[in-house]
Each structure stands twice: as C-alpha cells, then as structure tokens.
Amino acid sequence: LSLMDLMLVCNIVPKMAVNFLSGRKSISFVGCGIQIGLFVSLVGSEGLLLGLMAYDRYVAISHPLHYPILISQRVCLQIAGGSWAFGILDGMIQIVATMTFPYCGSRNVDHFFCEVPALLNLACADPSLFENLLFACYFFMVLLPFSIIMASYSHILAAVPHMHSAQTRKEALATCSSHLTAVSLFYGPAMFIYLRLKRYRTPSHDKVVSVFYTVLTPILN
C-alpha cells in the first residue's frame, strides 16, 4: 500500500508542480499514455488491496486465534500479488484502448493530469461504446472491493458488542478507524466521479474531487 501510494503521488504531483511553476501546461502524447497506464494500474490495485485489507481486519478481530493460519505469509503474498496483477491488467487494457483513438482538433485536456474520460472528450471517433464498457468496468472495480469491505465490517460490527471488556472493544474499533478513513477518502470521491453518467459530469467538479484520491489520500496513508 505504501509503495502504491508513493508511486501514485510521484506519477501526478511532480508533473503538475512543474506545469504550475513553469506556466508551460503541456505533456507529450507518450507521456500522457504512461501517466494514464500508471494511474489506472495503481488506482485499481489500491482499490482491491483496501478491500482485501478489510478481510484482514475481520479475521484479526473475529478470529484472532486462527489469524496466523487464515492470514499466513503465503496468503499475504497472494493478496499483494493479486492486487498488483488486477490493477496492471486493467491499466494495460485501458491504455491500449484509449491511445488507439484518433485525436484531432483541440489538444486541451481539461484536467490537471491525463485521465481516460478527459482524454476521450478530445477523440474524433465516437467513443460511446468504449465509454459504456468503461462505466461497466469502473462499476465492477468499485463494487467488488466495496462488497468485501461492507461484508467484513458488517461481521466486525456484529462481533464487537459480544466482546467481554470495554478495552477490547475500544482496541478493535481503533484498529479499524485508520482503514475506514482511507477507504472513505478513496472510495467516496472515486464513486462520485466514475459511477456517474457522462451527462452529469462537469470538469470543474472532477478536478476538485480527484485531488482526494490522487493526492490527499496517498499522502495521508
């Protein structure tokens, strides 16, 4: 998670700072493609990892004696590797599909970094089919980890009242608070941006909300 957050900040913030300080708000076509690929891969990986981390919290609180077996070193490696593989695959698919569209006329990307929806607005060909597929992809990418989070914390909330001491309950809730904060700051803005239909989206809102999961949440993590 630390590596993902560090890479996510380094993918966007340095270029954004250079553009802001120099006044030359430009990026090459190849650079834009690399930024999209890294961004989608890292966000997809982190989203799934945050979901699987909720399962880790559930096992630690509800089944503490079985934790070394259920969350073994092998399982930890599978969680990390699966998250990276899921994100990289999604990033490769989106970058290939996005960069094969023909772009003509305006080259002004109305965003502070290269993002797929902002770039598709400049495409000469009709991207409607790809945008619909993209919406379905975003829905799956958010729904799968979010379902794991909701299921895990439902079981945690059911288990906490049955704990014998107030101190144990306090420790259990404290264990979850940092993760819940990260989840809220990551999934809230992401769902606001990617799970809205195109006609309800405005570039100004997207820019402000994007700051949360591209800059603020990684830095806080």
144-193 residue pLDDT tens:
898 999 999 999 888 888 887 888 888 888 878 888 888 888 888 888 87
Residues 6+ apart with CB under 8 A from 109: 27, 32, 115, 118, 119, 122
In the prediction, which pLDDT does 163 show? Answer: 81
Amino acid found at 79: I
The CA-based angle 85-122-40, given to 5 degrees, is 15
- Measured CA to CA, the distance from residue 27 to residue 15 in angstroms comes to 9
Closest by Cα among 26, 17, 40, 54 to 213: 40
Residues 6+ apart with CB under 8 A from 201: 117, 193
Where in the chain are the domains? 1-219
* CATH topology (fold) of 1-219: Rhopdopsin 7-helix transmembrane proteins (1.20.1070)
Q: What is the pLDDT of residues 48-80, one digit of tens each?
A: 999 999 999 999 888 889 999 999 999 999 999
Judge whether 1 and 29 are in contact, CB under 8 Å: no
